[in-house]
Chain A
């Protein structure tokens, strides 16, 4: 299975400051159609995951534009331009290119 490695594991951030999460895959995530199926989810305590970004950099409906995704091949990044209180929780990257889909171990964002 493709191993997804996120860093950091914990991310304390001051309100209004930027944040960045890294995700690396053990294999290229470029699919045979040329697309890269890398997704970012956010999970608040006690809630189900919510998809934020798909195919590396595409926003899902209703996702604030302070979130952005980038990367290619095996290296990907989720950035939050200005952290707000509602952004706390765990962020997961997931690859959908190879079966089975696999998730990173998560990055816990908290407010300093």
Chain B
């Protein structure tokens, strides 16, 4: 069965950096685009960005472009989100999500990893 397991969340000060990882299993990872989506606890959902199946193409939300970088290592079935220059408003649960029946056909979601940003 499809599994997506995020890790790397934690507490960081404004201006700091964090790298999230998402390990995929149960499907051929290299055949799917992958997204990061975030959710402030108790609030709505916001797309962060997407990386193509081969890793060559990425797209970002305006709110994170230039600060966040999405990458992947298909040999390790792993998706990454490098977050730099973190702001208080970046605090959220970050989910990795598979893309099927797209464009942006988000289907399976990981359990999420919590990022807190405060001084």
Instruction: Report the bound CA distance from A102 to B46 in whole Å.
Output: 7
Among the 9-residue stretches B15-23, B75-83, B84-92, B108-116, the one with 4 or more Cβ atoms under 8 Å from chain A is B108-116
| A9-40 at interface with B (beta carbon < 8 Å) | 31, 37, 39
Q: A100-B59, A103-B46 are in contact. Are A94 and B106 (CB under 8 A)?
A: yes
Q: A92-B44, A100-B61 are in contact. Are A49 and B103 (CB under 8 A)?
A: no
Kindly provide the distance from the CB of A49 to the nearest chain B CB, expressed in whole angstroms: 5
Q: A48-B109, A48-B110, A48-B111 are in contact. Are A97 and B103 (CB under 8 A)?
A: yes
Residues of A within 8 A of B44 (CB): 92, 103-106
Asked if A89 is at the interface (CB within 8 A of a chain B CB), the reply is no
Pairwise interchain contact A48-B106, C-beta atoms closer than 8 A: no
Pairwise interchain contact A49-B104, C-beta atoms closer than 8 A: no
Asked if B29 is at the interface (CB within 8 A of a chain A CB), the reply is no
Asked if A66 is at the interface (CB within 8 A of a chain B CB), the reply is no
Main secondary structure of the interface of A (DSSP, over half): loop
Asked if A82 is at the interface (CB within 8 A of a chain B CB), the reply is no
- Tell me the nearest residue of chain A to B63, going by C-beta: A100
Q: A92-B44, A103-B45 are in contact. Are A54 and B101 (CB under 8 A)?
A: yes
B46, B49, B59, B106: which contacts A51 (Cβ < 8 A)?
A: B106
Chain B contact residues, CB within 8 Å of chain A = 35, 44-47, 49, 59-62, 95, 101-112
